[in-house]
Amino acid sequence: MSGGYVICEYEKVKQNFPKFQGVMTNLRNKLIAKAEKDWNMPFAGSQKITEAAARGIYLNAPGPGLDVNVGTGAFGETTILPPLFDGMTAAYSPLVTWEQWFNAIGSQTIMAGADTAGRIFEDYKVGIAGLVFLDKAIRISEIKMQISDKKLPRINIEEALAYNKPAIIFEEGFILDEEKGFHLYANITTQGPQRIKLIGLQVNRIKDKLLTDTGAALV
């Protein structure tokens, strides 16, 4: 884990950080390979590539999406879903969307795995390539992440105040493994609403766990 990152506008990630696609591809490949090994299951998306090739269409990789074959011996892929994480809203509970409400200033945990002790729920693995602030008002000045027992360096984001929807893109993606801890800490400067979205993808071992009410915790 190098800990390197860049700050740029979310809409211009690809232009300002041309390595982004490479970071995402490497992260996705590592995440899928880890899930195949740990779960001893094939990736459902591989069938999409095979079927496309049979029709003369060649894909480097299928896009994120819930594959219908999940639940029949293969795992699937989706975008990162907020209910996998607790946030500072409704007395620190699973997020329904990426929007939170900061009700205290100073050093706070602003996001953590929604399972006990800030862990990621079983049957999910998450790949993080960065995060983005979706509001004009940025209410924090610094962030720090802890993944399992690894503490990453603090990132001062005051530079981000000059950008519209600033994104922090890591030079190397990180994997949040199932039943392992994840905590995102921040120095909060003002109270109020804040939308912080994790950029990346997740893989899901059991399709039925995704078929709950929208916003429900993905236990």
Total number of domains in the chain: 1
Residue 68, Ramachandran bin (φ over 0: left; ψ between -120 and 50: alpha; else beta) = alpha
Tell which residue, 48, 31, 82, has the closest CA to residue 205: 31
Tens digit of each residue's pLDDT (9 = 90 or more) over 118-148: 999 999 999 999 999 999 889 999 999 999 9
Is residue 16 in some structural domain?
Answer: yes
Q: Which domain holds residue 146?
A: 5-210
Tens digit of each residue's pLDDT (9 = 90 or more) over 12-71: 887 878 888 889 999 999 999 999 999 999 998 765 544 444 444 444 554 555 554 555
Q: What is the model's pLDDT at position 207?
A: 86
Q: What is the model's pLDDT at position 99?
A: 95
Is residue 84 in some structural domain?
Answer: yes
Is residue 180 in some structural domain?
Answer: yes
Tens digit of each residue's pLDDT (9 = 90 or more) over 82-111: 999 999 986 778 999 999 999 999 999 999
Is residue 197 in some structural domain?
Answer: yes
Is residue 100 in some structural domain?
Answer: yes
Q: Which residue has the higher pLDDT, 199 or 66?
A: 199
Is residue 173 in some structural domain?
Answer: yes
pTM: 0.88
Q: What is the model's pLDDT at position 65?
A: 54
- Residue 149: pLDDT above 80? yes
